[in-house]
Amino acid sequence: MGTITARKRKDGSTGFTAQIVRKKGGAIVWREAKTFDTKREANSWMVFREDELDKPGALDRVTAGRTTLADAIDLYVKERKEIGRTKAQCLRSIKKYKIASMDCSAIKSSDIAAFARELLAGGRKPQTVGNYVSHLSAVFKDARVLWDIPLDYQAMRDAQAALTRQETISKSAKRDRRPSLSELDLLMQYFVERQARAPQSAPMHKIIAFALFSTRRQEEVTTLKWADLDEQHSRILVRDMKHPGQKKGNDVWVELPPEALAIIKSMPRKNPEIFPYTTDAIGAAFTRACQFLGINTEQMPDEDRLHFHDLRHEGVSRLFEMGRTIPLAASVSGHRSWASLKRYTDIRQTGDKYENWKWLPVVTDTV
């Protein structure tokens, strides 16, 4: 049982100090005290705090040493079997902020809100801030249950709700950026010339065209294997296809449009992977080319910049422009629902604008 001691302050008022002591084997292992203006407040805090300390494992946690948010992030990243590159990078960057050095047990909704405002003040958009907070929320959700780290998930949820109302965070806007034929001409010319100068470099002209015609994501392009190609039926098995409800084992057979299959057949069978290159190399080459060619500029807002993933948008939209039905388009893209495909139905013309495309013979030529 704790004690309450009344002490006169210098200003003549009385302060009431509540003190809690816990012992093990006759030795004091925990002591804390807090002073209040009234005895009633002191007693209320003491009863509440003692109830907290009497919960199973509570005393062990407070005496085990200080666990910071950075520690919790490290543990989450280490023990999580599957974590995306973007999420891992985001969590690593959070460790540079003040909140990461705080004791997990001390982090309140207001601290999370302050972190979000700090991100916003640094020039990030509400959508980006929302992504940071969402990734951090995953750490809060698992920390107490899995590792007995006292992160308050309800405090995180309260902060997210308030930040959304204040428009400090928001969901990412759906992109509708698609490459133009003139932009693709620039990219193709650039990478064909690069391939001639450096034959051992990744054949980016082929990879770009394949991503467009096959509608495959960048990570999927690099993991496709010859052993999973069913050339007779013009299809291929995409292993661990991205899906919010199934991170692992979501292996999906997808149809290969004629152009995509022709590009695959033009690749040499030297490795298990059809395109044996890293996502980092492909992403960096695409980003540098877009900047060099003036397709993207530093002053350009992100929604106007061309991303590699926009090739998938172009490929799926092309299928609808060619008159494909939803099930037929999904058989190529791998989407499970109409809701997921709706964003791609921004039909800008009818027919196939890639019919007789001048670069098709180039990208299907044997390496």
Domain 181-363 falls in which CATH fold? hpI Integrase; Chain A (1.10.443)
First to last CA, the chain: 80
8 A C-beta contact, residue 346 and residue 317: yes
pLDDT tops 60 at residue 245: no
Asked if the domains at 69-165 and 181-363 fall in one CATH topology, the answer is no
Please, how many CA atoms are within 13 Å of residue 101, restricted to the half-sphere of its CB?
3
The continuous run of DSSP H or E covering 236 comes out as strand 235-238
What pTM was estimated for this model as a whole? 0.63
How large is the average pLDDT for residues 282-290?
94
Closest CA to 309 of 241, 245, 215, 226: 215
CA distance 12 to 211: 77
* 14 has pLDDT over 70: yes
Confidence band for 367, pLDDT divided at 50, 70 and 90: low
Q: No. of H helices and E strands in the chain?
A: 16, 6
Assess whether pLDDT exceeds 70 at residue 173: no
Residues 6 or more apart whose CB falls under 8 angstroms from that of 148 comprise: 57, 61
DSSP 191-210: HHHHHHH-TTS--HHHHHHH
- pLDDT of the residue at 294: 95
Indicate the SS3 state at residue 70.
helix
If pLDDT is split at 50, 70 and 90, which confidence band does 206 have? very high
| Partners of 253 in the β-ladder | 237
For the chain, what's the residue count?
367
pLDDT exceeding 90 applies to what percent of the chain?
Answer: 53
What is the layout of strands, in order, in the sheet containing 27-36? 3-8, 14-24, 27-36
Q: In this predicted structure, what is the pLDDT of residue 67? A: 82
Tokens of 315: 């490929």
Q: What are phi and psi of 20, to 5 degrees?
A: -120, 130
pLDDT over 70, % of the chain: 91
**Average pLDDT of span 321-347:** 79
Three-class DSSP category at 66: coil
Give the least confident one: 109-118, 173-182, 237-246, 296-305.
Answer: 237-246
Q: Is the pLDDT higher at 217 or at 58?
A: 217
Tens of pLDDT, residue by residue over 141-156, are 999 889 888 899 999 9
pLDDT score recorded for residue 24: 77
Q: Can you tell me the distance from the alpha carbon of 275 to that of 246, in angstroms, rounded to the nearest whole number? A: 25
HSE, CB side, 13 Å, CA atoms: give it for residue 308.
23
- Are the CB atoms for 148 and 57 separated by under 8 Å? yes
What's the rounded mean pLDDT across residues 316-326? 89
**How high does pLDDT run on average in the chain?**
88
Q: Where are the domains of the chain?
A: 3-63, 69-165, 181-363
Q: Tell me which residue of 191, 123, 183, 135 sits closest to 310, measured CA to CA.
A: 183
pLDDT greater than 80 at residue 323: yes
Helix (H) or strand (E) holding 362: helix 360-363
Quick: pLDDT tens for 47-105. Answer: 999 998 888 888 777 766 668 898 899 999 888 877 777 788 889 889 888 888 888 88
SS3 per-residue string spanning 305-348: CCCCCHHHHHHHHHHHHCCCCHHHHHHHHCCCCHHHHHHHCCCC
As a whole number, mean pLDDT of residues 307-333 equals: 91
Asked if 224 contacts 251 with a C-beta cutoff of 8 angstroms, the reply is no
Secondary structure string (H, E, C) spanning 258-304:
HHHHHHHHCCCCCCCECCCCCHHHHHHHHHHHHHHCCCCCCCCCHHH
pLDDT of residue 60: 75
Smallest CA-to-CA distance from 265 within 237, 216, 229 is with 229
Residue 106, pLDDT score: 85
| pLDDT of 210 strictly over 90 | yes
Q: Which pLDDT belongs to residue 65?
A: 63
pLDDT tens by residue, 247-264: 566 889 999 999 999 999
**Residues 141, 154 contacting (CB under 8 angstroms):** no
- CA 55, 60, 63, 69: dihedral to nearest 10 degrees? -90
Query: Hunting for tokens 């190399």 — which residue is that?
Result: 281
In the CATH hierarchy, which fold is given to the domain comprising 69-165?
DNA polymerase; domain 1 (1.10.150)
